Amino acid sequence: MNDRIIHPQGVEPVPRTESANAQIRRSQRERLMDAAREVFARKGWAATMADIATQAGVSQGLAYRYFAGKAEIMRALLEQAVRGAPLPSALDPSGTPWERLEQLMRTVLDARRERVRFYRILQHAMEDPAAPEDFKALARAQGGRFRDALRELIREGQAAGEVADGDPEELALAVLATLFGLSSMAMGGSERLSEHFPSAAVVLRMLRPCAGPERRP
């Protein structure tokens, strides 16, 4: 990496400071991470270092100077996604089960609307047969923590009469399927979704107790 600033008119190059070099390295690394986030969200594990370099507008050789390969970049992105995911443990413990469900759903929906690529990367890591098993385990562990917290809130809500009767696991999976579907639609650039992204109240209607006797087809 060139550590000297070139000045016009033949003036002697001035060495960059170590601080300036560190800033350049951080900037280049973040540029590659941004490109990889876009590429992995679209292509999953089929993405290549060449794809990432092209997206970043740099040479493939430069990309390899910062990352040993796509596995290293993917791991960094997965760790970012996991760190940035809403934590159910951060919910206000003083609220009722339904209030905590609303808080959780608002937080999750905001994140899925604003950070579409992070969630698509997590989904690719869980679903792509070509993804390394340790990546799948990292993504599934994150999803498992969320599913467990959601299921427990549903149980508490049922005990308080705030959530519909039924298998808590089945209800939690129905909510998760809705969230995964929204992420897929958002990544596909659905204009309708961008205009009518469901609110927490809409998603949580499936958990509301029925006003009268449950009707089955």
CA dist., res. 45 & res. 164, Å (int):
39
| 106: Cβ contacts below 8 Å, ≥ 6 apart | 199, 200
CA dist., res. 169 & res. 199, Å (int):
22
Q: State the first-to-last Cα distance of the chain, in angstroms, to the nearest integer.
A: 68
Answer whether 0.85 is exceeded by the pTM. Answer: no
Q: Which CATH architecture has domain 85-207?
A: Orthogonal Bundle (1.10)
In CATH, the number for domain 16-69 is 1.10.10.60
Of residues 39 and 127, the one with the higher pLDDT is 39
> How many other C-beta atoms are found inside a 10 Å radius of the C-beta of residue 82?
16
Domain parsing of the chain, residue ranges: 16-69, 85-207
CA dist., res. 194 & res. 186, Å (int):
7
Of residues 193 and 205, the one with the higher pLDDT is 205
CA dist., res. 109 & res. 111, Å (int):
5
Is pLDDT above 50 for 143? yes
Confidence of residue 87 (pLDDT cuts 50, 70, 90): low
